[in-house]
Structure 1
Amino acid sequence: LKRLAYFKTIDGKATDYYKLIKYNRTKSVNQYLTHWIYPYKGKFHPQMIRALLNILKLVAGDTVLDNFIGSGTTAVESQLLGINCIGIDISPLCVLQSKVKTESIYVITQIEELREEAVDSFNASNSNTLFSQQEAT
């Protein structure tokens, strides 16, 4: 489910790709996560890159060399699959853009952790209140 692109569900289970595009605020399914940051004209579709990584049977821990990193699409999709990516480009704009796109991915994990912490804290405070009310009656 983690490696699939183009599919929303398999056997009733949501794919990671669907989870990524579910709350996409752009009008394109190709612009999830940080793929939309800058309208780079020579970029690949993220789903195509994911499909190529699957065809090559790369697994977490393997390394991809992208000698024309451009907007960083290969780096982002590799990162999502746990594949290392070494990117090279002559354009300082491309280097900057790919750094921003890949470093921003970690924000999602931090947001998820903070959300879980907030929910746990809310649930804990509400359960204490509920028990206190029951004991008082």
Structure 2
Amino acid sequence: MPTRRQMDEAEIRQQVDKMVQGLRAKDLEALRPLYTTDVVSFDVEPPLQHVGIAAKLANWTKVFTFFQDLTYEVRDLTVTVGDDVAFGHGFGRLGGTLKNGTATSGMWVRVTFCFRKLDGDWSIAHDQVSVPFDVSSGEGATGLES
């Protein structure tokens, strides 16, 4: 029989899968319940932080405006679970067909998710996306595969 921690980890992984499905469908209403209302997001574009569910969904709306079709994947997700908080880290890649018809496979970025268990459900309370960069040039290292 699975332990409570194993069941929680499975639920968290399902939440990440729901996020991936919501992004691929460009469905803001599918994404909304996955985040806490006070979510703090450190995304790859300005400003330094996006605070609250409205800001997070506005950021996804902006992404959706660039894509005709969108793909998103999460790879190598590791999850650590506590009683009412958890975190996961791995790699994400956003790609698809842009509105102008250009196909892009995107680039791998580092992703971190922090979850809170509220009323029995795991929700994303914080996420962070980062691009490695070359310190000497200040340029993002966007072609990395591992």
Return the TM-score normalized by structure 1. 0.26
Return the TM-score normalized by structure 2. 0.25
Between 1 and 2, higher relative CO (CA 8 Å, sep ≥ 6) is seen in 2
- Determine which structure has more spread, i.e. the larger CA radius of gyration: 1
Higher share of residues assigned helix: 1
Higher share of residues assigned strand: 2
